Amino acid sequence: MVVNGTDKTKKKKKFSKLRWQLGIIISLLYFFLIAAVLYSVRYSSIQTYLTAKNDMIERDMEAIERYHGNINAFDWYLDYWKAHPEATFKPMTSEELTIASDIPIYNMEEGATENDVRNMLNELSPEAKLAAAKDVYSALRFGYRNGLEQYKYDEIFLIDISEENRGYVYVDVNNGYSAELPLGGDWGYELNEHSIAQRFISGKYDSVEYEIASDDRFGRQNYYVGAVPIIVNGEVKAILGAAYNWNQFYKELMGKIGIIAISMTGILLIIYILILLFLSHVATKPLSILQSAVSEYAQNGDSEPVVKKMRKIHSNNEVERLADAFGNMVITIDRHIDTIKQAHSENESLSNNIMLSLAQTIDAKDKYTKGHSTRVADYSVLIADKMGFSKKEKDRIYRMGLLHDIGKIGIPDEIINKPGKLNDDEYEIIKSHSMHGYEILSKMESFPELSQGARWHHERYDGTGYPDGIKGQDLPLEVRIISVADSYDAMTSNRSYRQYLPQEKVRSEIVRCSGTQFDPEVAKVMIELIDEDTEYRLHE
């Protein structure tokens, strides 16, 4: 019986897990279905719109073509307009209206060819030719303007594509700006950029051609363009085209599709919320708690709140087991970290104590500089703190200050404690303490900066110091700080031949040596410390 009960529990848990996985799969499939439906709605809406627009453009172009007059005369008109552009564009006079009404072009026999029409027009007087050209051009302009307003186009244009006359004949734009251009007139781009025109020129075209074309004349908008050929005697002479603002249409269409999308998304949201509620109970909430605990532990390193959060997870699945394992791991890590921290603290404390003892030993060799190393270390930290150093950086510069004179261990006591002035040989021996200190401290690989402080604390900012003559920014900033602190303590400490100097004298000396012996920025900070020390406490 126990075995059967265990089997039932396992099956129940397995079924619960399967149901959770199935819910996610159904949710993903539903999302995919919604996306597919929305795409289908968008695509079909655009295609439906374009089909309707294509039918409208073809119908409208047929209506507008009536304004071109006798089609057999159209080629003659194109030639005349190009030859007399300025005269053609002028409004007709009453006399020209009378002349145009008497021209028999509209009364010619039905079988009249292009040559018949052209011959008849060529035989007219110059005044009659101009009147005829103006009459047809005025009708064309009226028809285009009427087409713009009636059919709501953004642009209507006529293009001559004949080899000798290629170019725009007329362009009218439904935005308060219109232009009438002679054949070949510049309209913002070359005719060879018109792909529809190229299809008509090549002879590979349908009765109506369509395309979406960009047009940077009005802010780089896209237009849906439809165009029909003007055919005279079986040859395409010109193109009549119209354009809609594709960007505007697309914006309106997307607005309508958006309403459908919102409705469908609302249904999806309800289903998705139900799925989320189910998933939240099974996995999402426990995983969220686990993630929060991991993040908190990574930031704070405190295991107690993490363990409390882990105890709140009761999902009866792999998540709960993961939470238990993580809680135990955190506790174990904390124990190891505490052990490491304690060992590190003990080692650091031991290192600091050893360094302090070494500094005191060094100072004990010189009866006149007792406490010098400790004060230099303290003054260095004060400067570093004012310059924004971190605690770790201040600890480092403190150690460098403590051991900067360790090389004096190798200098004979009789030279260090000589009461009078040193001779040249003795001075060279004293100067060697910086290299002795470097050689001693360079063996301490855990604190590589200590050897720098020992070697270069007598270097000068202008490069005239020793032992290497390093100058300016080539010296580490810590060394430049210790150099100022070392000189400050020398001036504010008692000597066998004098008492410590007055504060104002010390200040003026640091100002004087700024830029030569001292880094100007470090010297500036030291002067600020002096000015803040109104009771002159910073001295031996």
Burial of 160 (0-12, 13-18, 19+ CB in 10 A): buried
Buried b (16+ CB within 10 A) or exposed e, 312-345: ebebeeebeebbeebbeebeeebeeeeeeeeeee
Contacts of 318 (CB under 8 A, 6+ apart): none
Q: Using CA atoms, how far apart are residues 198 and 531, in angstroms rounded to an integer? A: 85
Single out the residue of 96, 173, 105 nearest to residue 138, CA to CA: 96
pLDDT per residue of the chain (540 residues) written in tens, 0 to 9? 333 445 545 544 554 565 566 567 766 776 777 777 777 777 777 777 677 777 777 777 777 777 666 777 777 888 888 788 778 878 889 898 888 888 877 666 566 777 788 888 888 899 988 988 888 888 877 877 777 777 777 778 888 887 776 777 777 777 654 444 444 444 455 666 677 888 888 888 888 887 877 766 555 567 788 888 888 777 888 888 888 777 777 777 677 767 766 776 677 667 766 665 665 555 555 555 655 666 665 566 565 666 666 565 555 555 555 555 555 555 565 555 555 445 444 445 445 666 766 766 676 666 666 788 889 999 999 999 999 999 999 999 999 998 898 888 888 888 887 777 888 888 899 899 899 889 988 887 778 888 999 999 999 999 999 999 999 999 999 999 999 999 999 999 987 677 899 999 999 999 999 999 999 999 999 999 999 999 999 988
CATH of 369-532, picked from 3.40.50.740, 3.40.50.980, 1.10.10.10, 1.10.3210.10, is 1.10.3210.10
Whole-structure pTM value = 0.41
What are the residue ranges spanned by the domains of the chain?
301-365, 369-532
Verify cis geometry, omega within 30 degrees of 0, for the bond prior to 412.
no
Q: If you count them, how many residues does the chain have?
A: 540
Burial of 181 (0-12, 13-18, 19+ CB in 10 A): middle
What tokens does 248 get? 């505007």
Please state whether 238 falls in left (phi above 0), alpha (psi between -120 and 50) or beta: beta
DSSP code for 217: G
